[in-house]
Amino acid sequence: MAALKLEEWLARFATDGRYRGNATSVKLIPAQEGAFAPYPEWVHPDLRAVLQRRGIDKLYSHQAHALELVRQGRDVVIVTPTASGKTLCYNLPVLQRILERPQTRALYLFPTKALANDQMHEVHGLIADLGCDIKTFTYDGDTPDDARQAIRRQGHVVVTNPDMLHAGILPHHTKWQKLFSNLAFVVVDELHVYRGVFGSHLTNVFRRLGRICRFYGSSPVFICCSATVANPKEHAENLLEREVELIDKSGAPRASKTFILYNPPVVNRELGIRQSALAPARAMATDLIENRIQTIVFATSRLNVEVLTKYLKDSFRERVPKGLGMVAGYRGGYLPNLRRQIEQGLRERSILGVVSTNALELGIDIGELEACIMAGYPGSIASTWQQAGRAGRRTGHSLAVLIARSNPMDQFVVEHPDFFFTRSPEHCRVNPDNLLILLHHVKSAAFELPFEDGERFGREDLVEILSYLEEKGVLHRVEGRWHWSAESYPADEVSLRTVNPENVVVVDTTETGNHRVIAEVDWDSAFTTVHDEAIYMVESRQYHVDKLDLDRKKAYVHEVDVDYYTDAMTYTNVRVLDEFGTMTRERVIVEHGEVQVVRKVVGYKKIKFYTGENVGYGDVNLPQKEMHTTSYWFTIPWHHLDTLGLGREEVIDGLAGLAYCLHHIAAMLVMADIRDLDRCIGDKSGQWFVRYGDDLRRITMAPEASVKVMENAFDPTVFIFDAYPGGIGFSELLFSKHDLMLSSAASLIGSCPCEHGCPMCVGPVLEVGPRAKDASLMILGLVGRP
């Protein structure tokens, strides 16, 4: 059988019964001509020669635009597709300036070490061809101590990550005097990655960087690149706290691409379970590779990478005995050498198929692949486009397939091609003035340079924060300056990426005298997964938790063999403290503001394996957790709900289902992990909450008074709140997108093929009840605008 070309393969796909019916959208993205511009006059002839030798005879229009703005000292954010030559937009001005003024320094920030290394090699290559004495280094946790001094003094271009800037560079800025005194450019690539908690921290790191630069008398130009999101300019301006020019019209030519959104068939209508995304991924990838169409498959976890790689290798072992080396897995954890081999194999086309985690999403040069299959939505539309961009660079048709899994985000995306292809709904949000985050960075900043009276840092009242810290004994004010006066190194106290760096260690005590640590659980999950008497599972072994010691941050367990697992029952209740904004829709009051959230694990259920039978209950006595954060919520008065003719429990189930759905949609809008947000149904006073009892759901008072069932006085409210103390800036956006949230929910639930609710729409029936789906649709009909 002669191998099919990609176009032929696609033609066959269109008629192939196996696939056709499951494609929710097949979109041809047409080729686009390039728009070009000549090199500006001022580009150094050597630099131009080096670039021309690499085949860059002229610039793309967006590159020329960026160069001009940067030349004028303007800060820019460049938002153009993958492979549109973004790196040139910063490498050229940086090298140009170093050629003009050899003492010039530039700082490059990448979110990962792998990207930093890759970019370092690219700059290195340019410099080698230039044949001049420009030094570029990566500086991160792996940099050997003896190399560090040379890098600090001599590195013209220092490539690092925000964490290192925060904890390793800024607190030692005097060692970097040369860099900071001559810092002309700060390059921030993958700007969209810095959102939520990470972005809120980074804004503060930039505030600190700004102070240090002012101290040394430099004022660098920021050159940022971002994937496509709904608000790139706003986001860049929020992160940098200065005006930023947006460049988003790509002049790069683009080859045509077919983009398929694929929803695997429903295999269990009752439970709304679809076929696993891995199955069609495997079938399509095998088919493509057999036709010698070079393919990359993205899987969502390391485990899935291994599973899919094995499947594909097995397929070829059966059919193409000599083709074993054609397929490779690729993920973090592979040795660098092996990774380099695979990358090279891809460039040389000796490897025709690679299965990867998002490790290959960004940057790394693997040549021009023809097809990309995403087995599962990568978590954001921006990432999806970046992964799809790994197939097809400049010429020739390419293919991208997104295969949805059974969860609301995946389902929403494949069922709403319009959002996906035309306007990204994704917003990057930061809240750098979150008090906890701000406080950390005020401390770090004071460590770096004493604050002076009248100085500003963030939008809060700095003097008040400084006074607070003085009272805590970490700052000391004298002659109008606030000095760090503690022994500690504040930058080590906070991680930029995680909400709470503290963990609970799980200790297996099965063998006396040979206790060993078997796992770590983050602080917040510890309450629900390793409470006393819980069954904790690692690698399908069961452990009984004998004692959770919160003070020592340890959970002591021993191995058991039982036929049940435990599921913690928590209650969450939310009380409104302050309303920042209110609007009235037809039958609903929509608000956002500050709330108090109290969460408590009250007990657990023992659930029998396979049958899901409830075989017992137990109490848990753990401290309740309380925090204040920001929330978006809406309230539906009872007298409207009464008109639906539903029982009280059905209403509550419907609201619970709706909240489940809105929670997922909200996470998508703000590009957050599902755990960065949380939801609750209650009333605004925080007195009532939904209790999931043995068999039914009731609205009751706080748990001590669980007998008292809710009276009519209560108007149910759905809260979607930031799961980070102080809030991270999501709520205001959700408030402003209320209509979109509701219409998206109506469409997601309405189009779901399940019968009574499933994890793809309102949540599992066992949790939300058999009437949740209908009830939530009725409620949406009442308050939503379909």
Residues that bind another protein (CB under 8 A): 171-175, 177, 435-436, 439, 446-450, 460-461, 464-465, 467-468, 472-474, 476, 478-479, 481, 483-493, 502, 577, 596, 622-629, 725-726
Three-state SS letters, 129-140? HHCCCCCEEECC
- Spatial CB neighbours of 503, under 8 Å, sequence gap ≥ 6: 520, 521, 522, 523, 553
Contact 712, 701 (CB under 8 A): no
**How far is 313 from 319, CA to CA, in rounded Å?**
10
Q: Of 421 and 523, which CB lies nearer to another protein in the complex structure? A: 523
CB of 464 to another protein, least distance (A): 4
Q: Say whether 418 sits in a helix, a strand or coil.
A: helix
Which residues face 261 on adjacent strands? Answer: 25, 402
Comparison of 107 and 381: residue with beta carbon closer to another protein:
107
**Min. distance of Cβ 418 from another protein in angstroms?**
39
CB-nearer residue toward another protein: 348 or 464: 464
Q: Which residue, 292 or 476, is less far from another protein as judged by CB?
A: 476
Nearer to another protein, 435 or 644 (CB): 435
Tokens for 765?
């029936």
| CB of 567 vs another protein, minimal distance in Å | 22
H/E segment holding residue 263? none
- Looking at residue 39, the DSSP 8-state letter turns out to be P
| Sequence-ordered strand ranges (E) for 346-464 | 353-356, 371-375, 398-403, 451-452
Alpha helix ranges (H) inside 269-422:
278-290, 302-319, 336-347, 381-388, 408-415, 417-421
Q: Minimum Å distance from CB 481 to another protein?
A: 7
Output the smallest distance, CB 730 to another protein, in A: 16
Least distance (Å) between residue 467 CB and another protein: 8
Name the token pair of 753.
């093929």
In terms of CB distance, is 174 or 219 closer to another protein?
174
405, 658 contact by CB (below 8 A): no
Closer CB to another protein, 489 or 609, in the complex: 489
SS3 460: coil
Least spacing, CB of residue 171 vs another protein, in Å: 4
For strands 503-508 and 516-522, give the pairing.
antiparallel
Please check whether residue 482 is in contact with residue 476, taking contact to mean a CB–CB distance below 8 angstroms: yes
Q: Which is nearer to another protein, 6 or 439 (CB)?
A: 439
Nearer to another protein (CB atom), residue 205 or residue 491? 491
Cβ distance to another protein smaller for residue 272 or 490: 490
What count of other Cβ atoms lies within 10 Å of the Cβ of residue 141? 11
Taking the complex as a whole, how short is the minimal distance between the CB of residue 530 and another protein, in angstroms? 17
- For 104, the token pair is 């010039």
Give CA separation, 258 vs 33, 64, 346, in Å.
17, 29, 21
| CB-nearer residue toward another protein: 350 or 621 | 621
- Of the pair 234, 455, the CB lying nearest another protein is at 455
| Residue 177 vs 643, nearer CB to another protein | 177
Residue 466 CB, nearest approach to another protein (Å): 10
* Nearest distance in Å: CB 578, another protein: 9
> Left, alpha or beta for 763 (phi > 0: left; psi -120 to 50: alpha)?
left
Instruction: Give the nearer residue to another protein in terms of CB position, either 407 or 687.
Output: 687
Report in angstroms how near the CB of residue 726 gets to another protein at its nearest. 5
Q: Please say whether the beta carbons of 435 and 460 come within 8 A.
A: yes
> Closest separation between CB of residue 444 and another protein, Å?
9
Per the CB < 8 A criterion, the answer to whether 473 and 486 are in contact is yes
Report the alpha-carbon angle 458-463-464, nearest 5: 95
Q: Under 8 Å CB-to-CB from 591, ≥6 apart: which residues?
A: 576, 579, 580, 581, 582, 583, 632, 633, 634, 635, 735
CB of 644 to another protein, least distance (A): 36
Separation CA 463–CA 451 (nearest Å): 10
Strand pairing category for 183-188 and 221-225: parallel
**CB of 505 vs another protein, minimal distance in Å:** 16
CB of 152 to another protein, least distance (A): 12
Give Cβ neighbours of residue 511 (< 8 Å, ≥ 6 apart).
none
Helix (H) or strand (E) holding 661: helix 648-669
Distance CA 90, CA 513 (A): 58
- Helix, strand, coil shares of the chain, percent, nearest 5, are 40, 25, 35
Q: Least distance to another protein from the beta carbon of 461, Å?
A: 7
Amino acid code (one letter) for 772: A
Q: Is 287:312 a contact under the CB 8 Å cutoff?
A: no
Q: Which two tokens stand for residue 387?
A: 């992964």
Strand partners, 697: 692
> 3-state DSSP call for residue 469?
helix
Of 575 and 698, which has the nearer Cβ to another protein?
575
Contact 323, 390 (CB under 8 A): no
Closer residue to another protein in complex, CB, 359/474: 474
